[in-house]
Every structure is written in C-alpha cells, then in structure tokens.
Amino acid sequence: MTALLLRDLTLALRAGGGFGLSLAFFLIVTVLVPFGVGPEGGVLGRIAPGILWVGALLACLLSLDRIFALDYEDGTLDLMATAPIPLETVTATKALAHWLTTGLPLTLAAPALGVLLNLPTAGFSWLTLSLAVGTPALSMIGAFGAALTVGLKRGGLLLSLLVLPLYIPTLIFGADCVRRGVEGLPTTTPLLMLLGITLGSVAILPFAAAAAIRVNLR
C-alpha cells in the first residue's frame, strides 16, 4: 500500500507535469474571473469564496482521468486487481495519492489566490480549513467517477458530466463555510457537514470504485 502510494506520487511528480498543471489551471481560472466581472474589490471579495471553491473543484476534475486511465491501458490495473491487497485499498490509496498531488497543493495555494480576489481577512483561515476538509471528498468522488469511465476511449467529457453533480453538496457546504467565516457567522454546521461528506465518501466510495473497476476489467 505504501509502495503503491509512493509509486503514484512519483509518477505524478515526474511524469508529464500533472502535478503543476492543476495548480496552474486553478491560478488561470481565478485570474480570469476579475476580467469577467470587473475589478471592483467589493464585488470580488463577495464572490471570492464561491470562485475559489469552484476553481478548486474544476482543477481537481482536470486531473481525475489520470487516476486509473494510464494503469488501465498498460495493464498495471490488472496486476493490482490480482495483487494480495484488496482492490478497495488500491482505489482508496490512489484517491489519497490524487489528493496529495492535487487537493493539498490547491489548499495551500488558495490563500494566495484569495489575496488576488480581495477575500476579506476573516475568510483566509476558513478557506484553508474548508478546502483541507473538503478536497479529500473531491478526490474520492472523482476516483469513483474515474473508475466508472476507465474502460471508455474518450471518457473525459462524460466523466465531468458524472462527477460534477456529485460534487454539488461538497461545494455548497465548502463555499458556505467560507462565506459564513467572512461574515463572522458561526461556521460549525457547514464544516461538520463537509467533514461528514468527506468521511462518508472515504468510507463508502472505495467499495463502489472497486466494484466499477472489477466490472471494467471483466
């Protein structure tokens, strides 16, 4: 399991720049928004929590098909399926690797982009916290979507159609947590709901993803 995690991390870091790509995408999306809505600080500050969450979500989506597709093509996934560790562990580990290379950097980069969007000072800690709590759910849900579409030739567009609706609850609670933090309202409820979604996803979705992969390898 550790070996698998290290392998996935190494592949993500060394091969093809998937690691930096989603971060760069996040940056670009965030930079594009002021061009779209105008540079007034008040407006930007108000929509910043939502923009940053949507941006993180899209950046996360961008790298999803890398989770299983390459391993499926060269047969590594077949080996993993017959390996002595359960396939559920494989999917969970791969989701973890995806989070370490996408979710975690996004979380760390988000405050810097918050400055660009004029996010009020009170929001920064909540932004980081909510992303740290919420992005594991994004990776796990995404791994499930990737497992569903791994057998398809051009599954990228379909993947986003399948995964984005599943992201809605995470987005609602994540962005709301930051918004409440900015306005000085209590943030416990959305934060706990976000944590609940993450823990629930991590508990259930590895099984669903493994089931989907077994079907695809049949």
By the criterion CB under 8 A, which residues form the site for other proteins? 141, 144, 148-149, 151-152, 155, 158, 161-162, 164-166, 168-169, 172-173, 176, 189-190, 193, 197, 204-205, 208, 211-212, 215-216, 218
Nearer to other proteins, 129 or 197 (CB): 197
In terms of CB distance, is 108 or 168 closer to other proteins? 168
- Give the amino acid at 102: T
- In the complex, what is the shortest distance from the CB of residue 86 to other proteins, in angstroms, rounded to a whole number? 17
Nearer to other proteins, 11 or 166 (CB): 166
Nearer to other proteins, 122 or 157 (CB): 157
In the complex, minimum distance from the CB of residue 69 to other proteins, in angstroms, rounded to a whole number: 15
Q: Which residues contact 58 (CB under 8 A, 6 or more apart)?
A: 25, 26, 29
Residue 117 CB, nearest approach to other proteins (Å): 21
Which residue, 34 or 156, has its beta carbon nearer to other proteins? 156
Dump the DSSP string for the chain. -HHHHHHHHHHHHHSTTHHHHHHHHHHHHHHHHHHHH-S-HHHHHHHHHHHHHHHHHHHHHHTGGGTTHHHHHTTHHHHHHHSSS-HHHHHHHHHHHHIIIIIHHHHHHHHHHHHHTT--TTHHHHHHHHHHHHHHHHHHHHHHHHHHHTT-TT-HHHHHHHHHHHHHHHHHHHHHHHHHHHHT---HHHHHHHHHHHHHHHHHHHHHHHHHHHHHH-
What's the min distance (Å) between Cβ of 88 and other proteins? 14
Supply the minimum distance, in Å, between the C-beta of residue 206 and other proteins: 12
Tokens of 16: 């093809």
Compare residues 8 and 176 and give the one whose CB is closer to other proteins: 176
Q: At what angle do helices 2-14 and 87-98 cross, to 10 degrees?
A: 40
- Residue 23 CB, nearest approach to other proteins (Å): 27
